[in-house]
């Protein structure tokens, strides 16, 4: 493997909980939109996340929150280009690119990004699987739906979705060792379905024998369950991530790296006592 950062990331998978720090270059993300768009602000946040214990940084320039306005690829890249290359060059950690567009992924991978985090699981852009394979990158395959259908069995829907995604990955030549699954909390699911998806973490691992990434940081589910505003959802996020860690989850996409690293340190110490 030619990318030592990716090799380090893949080697660490399964050995301990990995923290993926969120770095949004968007003006409209639900939690921190507009805060880290410039290079200096992005650099400071990247440093904070890594010093707090993040193992990988996930950079995105298009919000995918409920009700978001889609961004053309040209605008997405305009936000990324002044920042991404400098950050990859400055920090030795692996980076992932949060995009469902193959052209954005290709450009980011050319700058040294190691992982593509695709919220449509290789199923939105027909070129995405080939783009990942050509770069020798890893990919996070996330479950998603266009609409919420409270009546369906969401776990069965997830399993069928991942079967389709993995077929696309296999056809393109993406190694199974380079694939992570994300249940897609908050994407096309009711509150009950979000909880069912989290509870199914162990079932996902058993079905596909692949690492599972959980992305619940500060999400609306904690507002619904706890009545907590966005900035007061850390406790709920920690509770969900520790629960899914106990169920076998491997990677946790979060805004608060230091708090999660501390929580996982205690959790692992007790688990291995």
Query: Which H or E run contains 60?
Result: strand 56-60
219 is catalytic: yes
User: In which residue are the tokens 């380079």 written?
Assistant: 178
Pairing of strands 115-118, 213-214: unpaired
For residue 143, the 8-state DSSP code is: -
Task: Give the burial class of 225: count Cβ atoms within 10 A of its Cβ; 0-12 exposed, 13-18 middle, 19 or more buried.
Answer: middle
> Catalytic one among 189, 219, 233, 245?
219
Query: Which H or E run contains 161?
Result: helix 154-172
N-terminal to C-terminal alpha carbon distance within the chain: 35
Radius of gyration of the chain measured on its C-alpha atoms = 17
**204 vs 252: CA distance, rounded Å:** 16
For residue 176, the 8-state DSSP code is: G
C-alpha closest to that of 106 among 124, 129, 123 = 129
> Catalytic one among 79, 106, 107, 253?
253
C-alpha closest to that of 117 among 133, 136, 130, 101 = 101
Residues annotated catalytic, as ranges: 219, 253
């Amino acid at each position: 493997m030619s990318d030592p950062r990716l090799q380090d990331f893949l080697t660490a998978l399964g050995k301990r909980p990995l923290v993926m720090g969120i770095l949004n270059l968007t003006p409209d993300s639900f939690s921190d939109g507009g805060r880290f768009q410039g290079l200096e602000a992005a650099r400071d946040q990247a440093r904070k996340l890594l010093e707090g214990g993040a193992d990988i940084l996930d950079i995105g320039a298009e919000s995918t929150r409920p009700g978001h306005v889609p961004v053309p690829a040209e605008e997405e890249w305009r936000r990324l280009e002044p920042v991404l290359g400098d950050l990859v060059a400055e920090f030795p950690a692996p980076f992932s690119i949060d995009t469902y567009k193959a052209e954005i992924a290709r450009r980011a991978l050319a700058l040294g990004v190691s992982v593509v985090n695709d919220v449509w699981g290789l199923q939105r852009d027909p070129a995405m699987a080939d783009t990942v394979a050509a770069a020798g990158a890893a990919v996070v395959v996330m479950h998603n739906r266009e609409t919420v259908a409270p009546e369906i069995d969401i776990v069965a829907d997830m399993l069928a979705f991942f079967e389709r995604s993995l077929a696309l990955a296999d056809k393109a030549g993406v190694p199974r060792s380079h694939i992570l699954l994300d249940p897609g909390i908050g994407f096309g699911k009711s509150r009950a379905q979000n909880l069912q998806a989290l509870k199914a973490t162990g079932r996902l691992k058993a079905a596909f024998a692949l690492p599972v990434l959980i992305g619940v940081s500060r999400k609306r589910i904690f507002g619904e369950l706890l009545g907590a505003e966005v900035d007061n959802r850390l406790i709920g996020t920690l509770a969900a991530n520790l629960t899914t860690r106990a169920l076998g989850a491997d990677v946790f996409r979060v805004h608060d790296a230091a708090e999660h690293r501390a929580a996982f340190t205690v959790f692992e110490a007790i688990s291995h006592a």
